[in-house]
Structure 1
Amino acid sequence: MDAKQEIDAAIDAHAKWFVRLRVAIEKKSSEFAPGKVSLDNACDFGKWLYGSFPPHLKASPAYLEIRSLHASFHVAAAKVLELALAGKAQEALKALEPGGHLKQVSIQLVSKLTALKAQV
């Protein structure tokens, strides 16, 4: 995959987390463990981000911001999953709503990734 495809795949994969989390909230179970979800270098995008990301862009402020937002996304998603597994549905759902922490981090991450796509 080239860099633009990696970015598109990342946007798609992270959007799917909202579906997974809603299912976890509904079922109070998940195939994923919060500890694993919190790792920003375990998903395909994280592996690319920390690995074969275009070297000439790794020193850019955009790269550092994307890494930070990506890490924040994973920590926030893990927190929502913890709430879902604990049966705290209302609290978990708030994070997914517009204005919720996970939703806000996701919007910022997608915005930065979209801008980055224009640079690669």
Structure 2
Amino acid sequence: ESVRRCRVLVVTQSNAAALNIHQRLEAFGLESVRVGMQLKPEELLQQSYFTNAFEPADIYPLRDAVRRGEPPPPAMVAMLCQKAAKRAPVVVMTCIASGNMGLLGSCSFQRVLLDEAAQAT
């Protein structure tokens, strides 16, 4: 219940872990977005929260780049990721990506969850 009342940043060591956590959050019905400059445009567009957070015209250039098979401009991807991160109640990303001010900008979070499952032996 506290997740529904505050913004949470979830950071992981790997992209695979971030994907797993994001999928589990969605399965539990928690609105979340996975962001990062390493994500392919298709990965962003497959996220329901990401696509619902924008007007169709806002993400048209991203969809168009995917359709043409061309990489979108990195600045556009960063801007969309930053906007999605500002709007989402839960943001999932790798630890290294969390240090990118171009992604998080002025985002603030009440909780930070650091996934260390990869450290378990």
**TM norm. shorter chain > 0.5:** no
Q: Which is strand-richer, 1 or 2?
A: 2
User: TM-score, normalised on structure 2?
Assistant: 0.33
Higher relative CO (Cα under 8 Å, sequence separation at least 6) belongs to: 2
Q: Which is helix-richer, 1 or 2?
A: 1
